[in-house]
Structure 1
């Protein structure tokens, strides 16, 4: 099994004391998009990445005949983002509708129901209940409150569905904020990247100077520039762009000196990423048919298996993610999936919630997230800038498109701030 590597760009781990125009912290989609724009504009950019691989919360495994397996970003959501669409087109990255040919199954109370069997027992179906949330004009309150009028069995299943689709307890999800991103186009609107989401990462990384295994231990900043110190050296620059998730930055992950102002710390709390665990099961025999399963029974989550493949993937989000950390969760899973699964040859787990560099999968639409996002995106003086999906505008927050758009937005802010800087090689104008 091979994890995502780097096929392009200058990547290494040695870092000597040096200077640059801009230091970008984090080599996820936001950081790479920002560095790509700045580099194309003629700036000298160094990207510092804490991990040994780039991509951030894009994590693609290559498993031979099973093809690419996504443990992080899985789908391209049906939202408008011209920059992302342009990248796909320029890099010739193909996409396809998600879930084509797969039967949808709900596992509840130990029984397995296809859509028809479930409809005979519960109305509305959970995804129909979700669409109903977005059909009416935006209302105040939580998603859970909006579902309160359903009969208990339908409400319980709709809550389970929303927790796994959006990634948080419906009692915490703000209805209006949720509708801005998940506006009813999701069922049948999402697409997958055919050759793996890491193709997007490689397309952004080409030609950039990226230093892996280089976590920033301290970032000093002020009116005269920044200094990013790692275990192996220091980069002094005119500006820095911070792209790690807000809880990582605000929680001391970068050692900012001076520290973040209270308004930024408060914004980071509202932008906490959802808990999530990704699981890869390697079965002893190929799966008989293609299925997409919602487990209402422990350990929960959305699971996919493809006919003829020995790989089954699961993504367990929100409060249910804690169930995958319990002793004996594999037994719960075997009971839920029953004979469909068979014996297992291997189990791989990626715990996003407990990863020190991420502390969760992505920001979720809780109350107040819009104002918090705007606060997080605001620069500090003229030297420290912020990017990442949590800082994206409404409708893109929490998505890969939002990460890319935020990186390009931060690049434009840096370019404006460092006015009188380098020549714009693309347009032939001074930056």
Structure 2
């Protein structure tokens, strides 16, 4: 769990040779749109929520894992999600490009990640990213090198066909309310009332407890009102969490551009110089569809801030210039371009947050006997899931299992 428990929270190393170890794994989160099979007709008060045990705020993997654990424990649960899809910063776009593109989180880090049981349950294929293609200058033959594991047993994998496939078993038969934006949470030792806006009309959910599973940057922006007000120390802890900078721009071309068998492409200094903020990444090998047409430019650090301050047209031009220079073809022209600006997303407000900070334990402390917190600081998909399940276990112990 994030912030509590015995999970090893060592942050994977970033930088040129470490980007597959850290960059992108904690980016954000999903794109399934309608796993709400438990939907029931709502009452005039908007919730249709009589006799609820728990309301889960947030349909990312932490919220879904919590709801799954509670539902399997015999509790009556509803998940309220502001977006028109589940997954949060796990966002697989399946319609814009010839192949699925993960605009949020992308890697499973290590062979011990808790998400492997979902991979096996669904029979999904994965690809380990290891092959770097570099060359001294444009026009030279590509040199392929294999990245060595920086830590024993620590490897990095991507799911063929998109990360958000993992959400299916978690969301199955859950009662999920999409397009439902929480405005106010009233809580006491005896229960909670959640006030929200659903497509322009007020809805209300009453329950014995609530689990808040939304990003810390959203909480720090005070977009959700709590009554009584949260302790000042907790609010200050929200606001003190630094937000990391990273951005993806995917481009599709009308002919194969990316070198065969490579996972990462760049000039030599992309691999050896930590001052270089750019990477070019292909879809995982085995992805159905044309190969070499689509790939993603990753920008991180201060360069992200600079790039996002540009107009979209100028940003795309700079990305294309990097691709043209790296591939050695000044005539390359994309037929499609795709990005998601997480800093402008009102339900994310950042790609991901810095982990292992002072005050982290305070963030996860339950409040008022009925208000719980899960997945607030997202380090990776598996620790977010672990967070949701562990907090759900705390709630089950308080409410009692059926």
TM-score by length of 2: 0.76
Does the aligned pair in 2 maintain the 1:299–1:333 contact within 8 Å? Answer: no
Pair 71,114 (structure 1): closer, same or farther in 2 beyond 3 Å: farther
Query: How far 1:370 sits from its partner (Å)?
Result: 4.4
Question: Could you tell me how far apart the structure 2 residues matched to 1:69 and 1:408 are?
Answer: 28
Does the aligned pair in 2 maintain the 1:287–1:305 contact within 8 Å? Answer: no
Structure 1: stretches of 5+ with no match in the other structure = 120-126, 132-182, 391-396, 424-431
SS of the equivalent of 1:260 reads: coil
Pair 257,113 (structure 1): closer, same or farther in 2 beyond 3 Å: farther
Query: How far 1:112 sits from its partner (Å)?
Result: 9.2
> Is 1:240–2:210 an aligned residue pair?
yes
Query: How far 1:45 sits from its partner (Å)?
Result: 0.2
Query: How far 1:334 sits from its partner (Å)?
Result: 2.7
Q: Deviations over 1:8-35 (max 9, x none)?
A: 4427698523331100000000000000
Pair 114,316 (structure 1): closer, same or farther in 2 beyond 3 Å: farther
How many pairs are equivalent?
Answer: 344
Question: Could you tell me how far apart the structure 1 residues matched to 2:340 and 2:41 are?
Answer: 27
User: 1:220-235, aligned counterparts within 5 Å?
Assistant: 220-231=186-197, 232-235=202-205
Q: Deviations over 1:359-406 (max 9, x none)?
A: 1122224xxx3443222111113201111162xxxxxx6110001000
Q: 6, 17, 32: which one pairs with 1:5?
A: 32
Question: Could you tell me how far apart the structure 1 residues matched to 2:203 and 2:225 are?
Answer: 15
Aligned to 2:279: 302
Aligned to 1:403: 384
Question: Could you tell me how far apart the structure 2 residues matched to 1:297 and 1:243 are?
Answer: 34
Question: Could you tell me how far apart the structure 2 residues matched to 1:388 and 1:278 are?
Answer: 23
Q: 300, 304, 320: which one pairs with 1:334?
A: 320
Does the aligned pair in 2 maintain the 1:298–1:336 contact within 8 Å? Answer: no
Give the helix-richer structure, 1 or 2: 1
> Is 1:211–2:238 an aligned residue pair?
no
Q: 125, 128, 131: which one pairs with 1:97?
A: 128
Q: 51, 59, 62: which one pairs with 2:94?
A: 62
Aligned to 1:35: 67
Structure 2: stretches of 5+ with no match in the other structure = 1-29, 284-289
Query: How far 1:303 sits from its partner (Å)?
Result: 1.9
Q: Deviations over 1:104-157 (max 9, x none)?
A: 3389xx97999969x9xxxxxxx89x95xxxxxxxxxxxxxxxxxxxxxxxxxx
Pair 208,331 (structure 1): closer, same or farther in 2 beyond 3 Å: same
Runs of 4 or more, structure 1, over 6 Å off, are 11-14, 110-117, 296-299
Does the aligned pair in 1 maintain the 2:97–2:336 contact within 8 Å? Answer: no
Q: 246, 265, 268: which one pairs with 1:293?
A: 265
Pair 11,284 (structure 1): closer, same or farther in 2 beyond 3 Å: farther
